[in-house]
Amino acid sequence: MRKVEHIGIAVYSLEKAVPLYSRLLNTPCYKQEAVDSEQVQTAFFQQGDTKIELLEATGEASTIRRFLDKKGEGIHHIAFDVEDIYAEMERLRSEGFTLLNETPKPGADNKLICFVHPKDSHGVLIELCQEIR
Ligand SMILES: CC[C@H](C(=O)O)C(=O)SCCNC(=O)CCNC(=O)[C@H](O)C(C)(C)COP(=O)(O)OP(=O)(O)OC[C@H]1O[C@@H](n2cnc3c(N)ncnc32)[C@H](O)[C@@H]1OP(=O)(O)O
Ligand SMILES: [Co+2]
């Protein structure tokens, strides 16, 4: 894993959170993108060589909705940038980690993504991201 690609933060409303984070970080949101397969709307802020990803649920079946209902707003996941997500998934499987998807799936910001179950990482949801080249 090469670096922290982004930190995912679950929020109730991007309409409220985007201006707040823009003031907090002193930088504009560079992209908002819906990912229907995850039932989320995302908003990205570049911070050096990493990003903040704000996530709002767009459907009742959204995992973000479930997280917000259970835990409220806050850090949802840490995403790491990988060179080859297929090889990394294979390595993690061989190390005994539980992956939440069989194959990489399309994420936001032109990425292929997968997730490791938080039960295998001391309570932190870990995402792997590979740039779609
Ligand atoms: C749009 C793409 C974007 C990108 O970067 O490209 C994204 O980042 S999408 C982000 C949203 N998508 C996901 O999170 C997909 C992976 N997540 C899941 O599959 C689920 O959220 C899962 C399996 C982690 C939990 O789902 P489940 O239905 O099992 O929910 P529970 O509330 O029953 O949780 C079980 C257990 O896990 C703990 N939990 C849940 N979410 C998190 C979390 N974000 N961080 C840490 N722990 C989490 C929860 O507290 C339960 O623990 P327990 O001790 O049993 O109470
Ligand atoms: Co993410």
Question: Mean of the per-residue pLDDT values for the chain?
Answer: 97
Global pTM value? 0.97
The ipTM assigned to this model is: 0.97
Q: How far is the CA of 52 from the centre of ligand 2 (A)?
A: 9
Q: Please enumerate in sequence order all residues whose Cβ is within 8 A of that of 5, keeping only pairs 6 or more positions apart, or say none.
A: 50, 51, 79, 80, 81, 111, 127, 129
| Residue-level pLDDT at 61 | 94
**131: confidence class by pLDDT, cuts 50, 70, 90:** very high
State residue 129's pLDDT score: 98
Cα(107) to centroid(ligand 2), Å: 7
Atom of ligand 1 nearest to the CA of 113: 6
Q: What's the token pair of residue 3?
A: 């670096």
Pocket test of ligand 1: the residue of 67, 128, 132 to mutate, having most ligand atoms within 8 Å of its CB, is 67
User: For residue range 91-111, what is the model confidence (pLDDT) as tens digits?
Assistant: 999 999 999 999 999 999 999
Number of C-beta neighbours around residue 30 at 10 A: 11
Q: Which residues line ligand 1 (CB under 6 A)?
A: 8, 35, 38, 40, 42, 53, 55, 63-64, 66-67, 70, 76-77, 79, 100, 107-108, 111, 113, 115, 117-118, 123-125, 127
DSSP letter at 120 equals G
Q: What is the pLDDT of residues 45-68, one digit of tens each?
A: 999 999 999 999 999 999 999 999
Residue 117: pLDDT band by 50, 70, 90 thresholds?
very high
Domains of the chain with CATH codes: 3-131 (3.10.180.10)
